[in-house]
């Protein structure tokens, strides 16, 4: 977010686009990796049918993937508006 604001002040980037791109990068690079780790840990515990850690991680994974799709569309729309 700070980098996005700095780029905007320097007139390099649309601040809205920069915010979307920063959030997208964080979700892809950090959140996906963390959720995969938690899913794998939950799998190692055995039976997944009653594993709350697994269920929670899978639910969070679905929310992150939904947000990634949403951000990708927002970024595409923002770039098209600039053309």
* pLDDT on residue 76: 93
Q: Who's near 59: CB < 8 A, 6+ residues apart?
A: none
Q: Who's near 32: CB < 8 A, 6+ residues apart?
A: 61, 64
* pLDDT on residue 46: 83
Alpha-carbon distance of 44 to 46, in angstroms, equals 5
Q: Is the pLDDT of residue 57 over 90?
A: yes
pLDDT averaged over the chain? 86
For residue 26, give the DSSP letter. H
**8-41: per-residue pLDDT in tens?**
454 566 888 999 999 999 999 999 999 999 999 9
* pLDDT on residue 8: 47
* pLDDT on residue 32: 96
Alpha-carbon distance of 42 to 13, in angstroms, equals 41
């Amino acid at each position: 977010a700070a980098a996005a604001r700095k780029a905007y002040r320097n007139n390099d980037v649309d601040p809205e686009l920069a915010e979307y791109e920063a959030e997208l990068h964080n979700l892809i690079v950090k959140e996906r990796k963390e959720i995969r780790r938690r899913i794998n840990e939950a799998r190692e515990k055995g039976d997944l049918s009653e594993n709350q850690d697994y269920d929670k991680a899978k639910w969070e994974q679905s929310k992150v993937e939904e947000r990634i799709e949403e951000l990708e569309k927002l970024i595409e729309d923002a770039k098209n508006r600039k053309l």
